[in-house]
Each structure stands twice: as C-alpha cells, then as structure tokens.
C-alpha cells in the first residue's frame, strides 16, 4: 500500500493578529499545497474546520476534503504523477468538480509555463474559453503588474528554475477588452512527483479589488477619527474663547447704552463673533457629530441667518418663501444650521455661472391609519410616522444630477466635484435622521435639483413656561459657577453679578461640593449651580451633579460644555441636570435658561 505523506506546505490555523492580505495569502497557499499533494499522490484526509478560518474558502476546502477521503479509500493504487493515461483521466475527472466550484481563478501549467488546465473562474477572468487558452502562457492572457516593483509579473516558468522567485505576489490586473482594472493576489506552487522532480505549476489568482476598497475606506474612517479627536479639542478651546469674547462684548454694550454709535459697533462685533461659531460647528462635524441637543427654534429665523452667511461673496442670489404661520421645531440649532448650510452651498456650487437658490419652508401633515387596528404606521413613500412636520426645500437652477448618481448621492465620500470630501450630504442625511426626519432629492438633467427634508414640528406642550426674553429685576439669590477656564469663570461672574445675583466661582468638582455643602449647612443654599461638563485632572460635571443631588435632591444644576458631541448634553435630565448650554452661549441664552428653570421650579 502506498505510504500516505503530508503535503509539503505547513498547514496551520491563522492567528487573530493576521491581516486581511496575510489571511487570503495563507488560504491560497494552503489550497495550492493540498492540490499539489492530491496530484502527487500524497493523500492525507484533513479537517476543513482546522485549516480554513475564512468562510469565503469553506466550500472549496470541504470539496477537497471529500476528494481526499475518496482517494484515500481507493487503496493502494499507485498515485504518483505522471501516470498512465487512464489513471490521469480518472484523477482529472475527480478534480474537475473541485475546479468548477473554486471561485478563484486556477491555472495548471506545464514545465514551460503553458496552460494545461484552468477552471471556469479563470475563463471569466481572462474573458476567454479554456480551449483558447490551452498552450498559452498567463502573461499572454492577462497583463499583470507587480504592485511593489511596478514591473510585469515574472514568467511562471521562472518559479521552477529560481527558488527565490516570489511565490506570492500582489498585482494590478490591467483592463483589457472594456473590463475594469482589478487588484489581485496571486500564488504559485510547484507540482512535483515523489522524487521531487518538477512536473508543472499550479497558479491561483484571487480578485481582491473589493477587499482593497474596503481597507481603503476603513483607513479613511480611521484617519477621520483621528482628525475628529483633534478637531473636537480645538473646537472646545475655541468655544471657551468665544464665550469670553461674546459675554464681554455684551457687558461693554450695556455700559455704553447711551452712546448709540458705540452700541452699534459693539453689536456688530457680537454678530461677527457668533458667525465665528460656524467654524467650530464645522470642526465638530469632523469630531463625529453626536446626538442632538434640542431646543425649540423658529425655522424661518434660522434659515434667514444661515443662507445669507452661506452665500456671502458668491455670485448666487437667493429667494425665501415661508408659510405665514410656520410651526416651530425642536432641534439642535447648530446641527440643523449645518444641514441648511451644506444644502445651500451644494446648490451654489451647482451654478458656477451664477443663479438663484430658492428655499421654501412649509407646514405639512403626514397621516396614515391602518384599517385593521387603527395604529400609526409609516407613511407610504416616506420613512416617517404620521404627524405634523415642517418641510424645507432647497432648489437650484443648475444642470441637474445624472440618474445613475442619484442612488449614491448620500453615500460617504461620493462626490463628482474635484477636491470635495464627499461628506457634506452624508452629514446632512445623518443629522436629519437623528432628528426623526427624512431627506430626499429630486433632479432631472437640465431642470435643476431640489433637496427636501422633513423635521417633526414641536408640540404645544414644549413651549409651556418658556420665556424668550429675560425679565430684568427678577434676578436674586446665590449662584455657584464651576469651570476650569478662568476666562469663563470671570465673565460669567461679572455678568450674573451685574444682573443681580450673588456669585461664587470654583475650578473643580471637589471645591464645588465643599462650598455647596457649607452653604446648605448654613441654611443659605445656592439657587443655581452652573458647571462645566469636563474638568481636566479633576471631578467634572457628571460626577459632581450626582453627589450634589445625593444630599440635595432639589438642587438646580445647569451644565455647559464646548464639546457638543457628548451624549450627556442630549440626555442631560437622565444624568441629573436641569438645563444645558452649549458654548459659546449668548448672554440672553444664559439668563433666559436660568429664568425658565426658576419659573418651572416655582410651578412644581
């Protein structure tokens, strides 16, 4: 009986630290070694689960396993290669089903590097039938360029003569006959008889184009995450600086209120400072966005403020058309501002020779009832539940979007514009979806493009006890301010004292707890606590508010932060906070929030 030998290649499981390229190469090498062993007569049944850790290769390994078992059970028939014509025919017939099942291109070459046998996947790769390729060399069928050397891949005949010739290569398959260029992984293995005499070569070529694209996309994402961390830190520091500038400008304007010219100049400086917040919003877009921190706003006011800024300095005009009684929405103002800004800029870029952007905002009701159980269900044609919505449309007079691009328009990195990141519309889509809305596009070549998005209208209850302006003369009581930034502590202290509050400031949570406890013990409690969410090297707002509420459940605590992507800001009540402010905040925003929380407390 013929001695059963192991295939010459080392067959081992892949480690968890193996890269995608290494994993593919290992399995291709294993397949070649098993086929080599089968053709040489070294028949050793194996466990597919032990050798194959990649589901893409599972079916092929299972077929080879079945073939190895059948050949092993055949007994002591001489299986060394070459064989008699009858023996060759029998082995080949058993191998053909395996060849047909392998989704990678497999070529069996003779000692001259000429193709003897190939599978259907090889026919598809070369766009030629097997009969037309027989006797030809692979370089005659495919143009393969080595990725490292940028030279044509070596003739496989060299694999027989040169042991140092690379058996595994990463190549670029150049397009021929109208096909697309591809990235392939190629492995070659020498076929030899029991005396180690070379009989030919088996070559396996795998299309790695999609894998390459996936890895490139993954690398992009990782780069964006790194940029996001940097951008988030820059935005936080910049927001602190802007808060100090805006608050000081407000107090300066109040101190010269009798001088109209000075007041106007300072008011213009305040507006310019607020416009600078758009830079931080763009930075925070790259710092992974975050859940929306919602407040009730006027859609018309937001659009009017955003559109003029977005189109300033361009050759594009704009026209606004709003419903007379447009309903308010409860949204993250900064994020929806970003959506409108992205859509308006996109519309302007579609008209490089100039034109008009038309923005329409209207109330709409989406309704639908199931006759069976009268339950709410998604509105046909729109992934929205029934209810009241505000629809905002941005129309341009550009050339329109080709139909083939419409399905990809919101995909990450997709763009037809040179130098574009392809993230503007993706960001808009993500933000609208987070707000329970929907965004869609309509376009026909030569007729312009319309982007429309729906936002749920605010309920009437959301505006109860809400004051839009600060009522002077009602400020009284003690306020504790906790922030690690001296500028913030100073300007907030000056502002609140000027308004009528008594203020104490601390730089960390430990001092805030001590002072709050002392005031409570002296029966002179603080009416409000304002605290920063993040304190480097100290106790931040999340831990501090929990400890304050442990011994004073009636404490009124407002959190503010320059990081708008922290989930605490969008779910502040779940963490014990009574209000939230995003830096930079205006003086009115701070005073109105304190006033509203005080009013709600009075009605409890």
Beta pairing, strands 329-331 & 295-297: antiparallel
pLDDT beyond 80 at 47: no
DSSP 376: B
CA distance 249 to 263: 10
pLDDT for the residue 264: 86
CA distance 259 to 539: 44
Tell me the whole-structure pTM to 2 decimals: 0.51
The DSSP-derived string for 439-490 is EEEEE-TTS-EEEEEEEEBPPGGGGTT--SS--TT---SEEEEE-S-HHHHH
Residues 42 and 115 reside in one and the same domain: yes
Strand partners, 206: 185
CB 517 within 8 A of CB 530: no
Tally the domains of the chain: 3
What is the distance of C-alpha 514 from the center of its chain? 43
Q: Is 470 among the domain residues? A: no
pLDDT for the residue 425: 84
Q: What are the pLDDT digits (tens) for 13-22?
A: 333 344 455 5
Q: Is 77 among the domain residues? A: yes
Question: Dihedrals φ, ψ of 340, to 5°?
Answer: -60, -45
pLDDT for the residue 162: 58
Residues 398 and 514 reside in one and the same domain: no
Number of C-beta neighbours around residue 277 at 10 A: 21
Q: Which residues touch 523 (CB under 8 Å, ≥6 apart)?
A: none
pLDDT beyond 60 at 545: yes
Residues 314 and 432 reside in one and the same domain: yes
CB 37 within 8 A of CB 44: yes
> Strands, E, within 83-181: which ranges?
105-109, 115-118, 144-146, 168-173
pLDDT beyond 50 at 356: yes
The enclosing domain of 127 has a CATH number of: 3.30.450.20
- Among 463, 486, 516, the domain-final residue is 463
CB 246 within 8 A of CB 590: no
pLDDT beyond 60 at 395: yes
Q: Is 151 among the domain residues? A: no
Q: What are the pLDDT digits (tens) for 477-530?
A: 899 999 988 888 888 888 888 888 899 999 999 999 999 999 999 999 999 999
Residue 102 sits in which domain range? 20-137+157-168+185-207
Residues 450 and 576 reside in one and the same domain: no
CA distance 600 to 237: 32
pLDDT beyond 90 at 200: no
The DSSP-derived string for 315-354 is SEEEEEEE-TTPPPEEE-HHHHHHHHHHHHHHHHHT-TT-
pLDDT beyond 60 at 69: no
Of 189, 147, 144, 195, nearest in space to 165 by CA: 189
- Among 463, 494, 526, the domain-final residue is 463
Residues 582 and 438 reside in one and the same domain: no
323-351 b/e with 16+ CB inside 10 Å = b? eeebbbbbbbbbbbbbbbbbbbbbbbebb
CB 484 within 8 A of CB 603: no
Residues 493 and 530 reside in one and the same domain: yes
Of 505, 501, 530, 527, nearest in space to 515 by CA: 505
CA distance 204 to 108: 9
For the residues 417-440, what does the mean pLDDT come to? Answer: 79
User: Residue 270 is encoded by which pair of tokens?
Assistant: 């305040």
Number of C-beta neighbours around residue 80 at 10 A: 14
pLDDT for the residue 237: 76
Share of the chain above pLDDT 70, in %: 67
Q: Which residues touch 68 (CB under 8 Å, ≥6 apart)?
A: 34, 38, 43, 44, 45, 46
Residues 492 and 446 reside in one and the same domain: no
Residues 39 and 122 reside in one and the same domain: yes
Residues 578 and 456 reside in one and the same domain: no
Q: Is 232 among the domain residues? A: no
Q: Is 348 among the domain residues? A: yes
Place 103 in a pLDDT band, splitting at 50, 70 and 90. confident
CB 185 within 8 A of CB 32: no
- Of all helices (H) and strands (E), which one includes residue 139? helix 138-141
CB 101 within 8 A of CB 60: yes
Residues 412 and 546 reside in one and the same domain: no
Residues 362 and 426 reside in one and the same domain: yes
pLDDT beyond 90 at 109: no
CB 27 within 8 A of CB 52: yes
The DSSP-derived string for 378-412 is BPTTSS-BSEEEEEEEEEE-S----HHHHTTTTST
User: Residue 307 is encoded by which pair of tokens?
Assistant: 């559109």
pLDDT beyond 90 at 357: yes
User: Residue 586 is encoded by which pair of tokens?
Assistant: 């205006």
Place 544 in a pLDDT band, splitting at 50, 70 and 90. very high
Residues 408 and 555 reside in one and the same domain: no
Lowest mean pLDDT among 2-6, 86-90, 462-466, 505-509: 2-6
Q: Is 269 among the domain residues? A: no
CA distance 143 to 120: 19
Share of the chain above pLDDT 90, in %: 18
Q: Is 324 among the domain residues? A: yes
Place 449 in a pLDDT band, splitting at 50, 70 and 90. very high
Compute the mean pLDDT over every residue in the chain, rounded to the nearest whole number.
75
CB 79 within 8 A of CB 41: yes
Of 127, 170, 180, 113, nearest in space to 145 by CA: 170
The enclosing domain of 535 has a CATH number of: 3.40.50.2300
């Amino acid at each position: 009986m013929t001695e059963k030998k192991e295939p010459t290649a080392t067959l081992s499981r892949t480690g968890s630290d193996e890269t995608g390229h290494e994993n593919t190469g290992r399995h291709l090498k294993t397949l070649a070694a098993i086929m080599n062993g089968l053709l040489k007569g070294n028949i050793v049944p194996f466990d597919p689960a032990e050798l194959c850790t990649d589901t893409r290769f599972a079916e092929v390994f299972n077929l080879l396993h079945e073939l190895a078992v059948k050949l092993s059970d055949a007994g002591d028939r001489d299986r060394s290669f070459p064989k008699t014509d009858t023996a060759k025919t029998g082995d080949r017939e058993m191998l053909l089903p395996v060849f047909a099942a392998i989704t990678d291109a497999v070529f069996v070459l003779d000692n001259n590097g000429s193709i003897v046998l190939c599978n259907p996947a090889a026919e598809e790769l070369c766009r030629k039938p097997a009969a037309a390729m027989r006797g030809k060399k692979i370089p005659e069928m495919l143009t393969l360029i080595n990725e490292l050397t940028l030279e044509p891949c070596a003739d496989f005949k060299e694999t027989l003569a040169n042991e140092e010739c690379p058996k595994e290569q990463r190549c670029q398959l150049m397009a021929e006959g109208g096909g697309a260029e591809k990235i392939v992984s190629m492995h070659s293995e020498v076929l030899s008889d029991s005396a180690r005499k070379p009989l030919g070569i088996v070559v396996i070529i795998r299309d790695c184009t999609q894998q390459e694209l996936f890895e490139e996309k993954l690398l992009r994402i990782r780069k964006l995450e790194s940029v996001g961390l940097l951008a988030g830190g820059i935005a936080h520091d910049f927001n602190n600086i802007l808060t100090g500038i805006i608050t000081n400008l407000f107090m300066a304007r109040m101190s010269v209120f009798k001088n109209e010219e000075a007041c106007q100049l300072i008011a213009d400086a305040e507006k310019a400072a607020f416009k600078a917040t758009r830079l931080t919003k763009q930075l925070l877009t790259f710092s992974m966005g975050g859940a929306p921190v919602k407040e009730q706003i006027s859609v018309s006011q937001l659009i009017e403020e955003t559109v003029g800024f977005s189109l300033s300095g361009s050759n594009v005009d704009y026209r606004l058309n709003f419903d007379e009684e447009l309903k308010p929405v409860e949204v993250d103002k900064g994020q929806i501002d970003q959506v409108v800004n992205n859509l308006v800029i996109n519309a302007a870029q579609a008209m490089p020779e100039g034109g008009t952007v038309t923005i329409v905002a209207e109330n709409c009701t989406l309704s639908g009832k199931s006759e069976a159980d009268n339950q709410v269900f998604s509105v046909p044609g729109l992934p929205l539940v029934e209810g009241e919505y505000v629809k905002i449309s941005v129309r341009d007079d550009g050339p329109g979007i080709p139909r083939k691009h419409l399905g990809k328009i919101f995909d990450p990195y997709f763009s037809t514009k040179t130098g574009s990141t392809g993230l503007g519309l993706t960001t808009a889509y993500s933000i609208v979806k987070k707000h329970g809305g929907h965004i869609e596009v309509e376009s026909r070549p030569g007729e312009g493009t319309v982007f429309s998005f729906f936002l749920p209208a605010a309920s009437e209850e959301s505006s109860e006890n809400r004051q839009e302006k600060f009522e002077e003369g009602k400020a009284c009581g003690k306020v504790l301010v906790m922030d690690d930034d001296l500028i913030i502590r100073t300007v907030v202290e000056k502002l609140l004292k000027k308004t009528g509050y008594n203020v104490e400031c601390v730089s960390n949570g430990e001092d805030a707890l001590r002072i709050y406890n002392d005031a409570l013990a002296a029966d002179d409690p603080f009416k409000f606590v304002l605290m920063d969410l993040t304190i480097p090297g100290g106790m931040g707002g999340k831990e501090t508010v929990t400890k304050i509420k442990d011994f004073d459940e009636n404490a009124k605590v407002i959190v503010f932060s320059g990081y708008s992507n922290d989930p605490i800001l969008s779910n502040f009540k779940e963490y014990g906070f009574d209000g939230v402010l995003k830096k930079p905040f205006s003086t009115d925003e701070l005073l109105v929030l304190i006033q509203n929380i005080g009013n709600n407390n009075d009605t409890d």
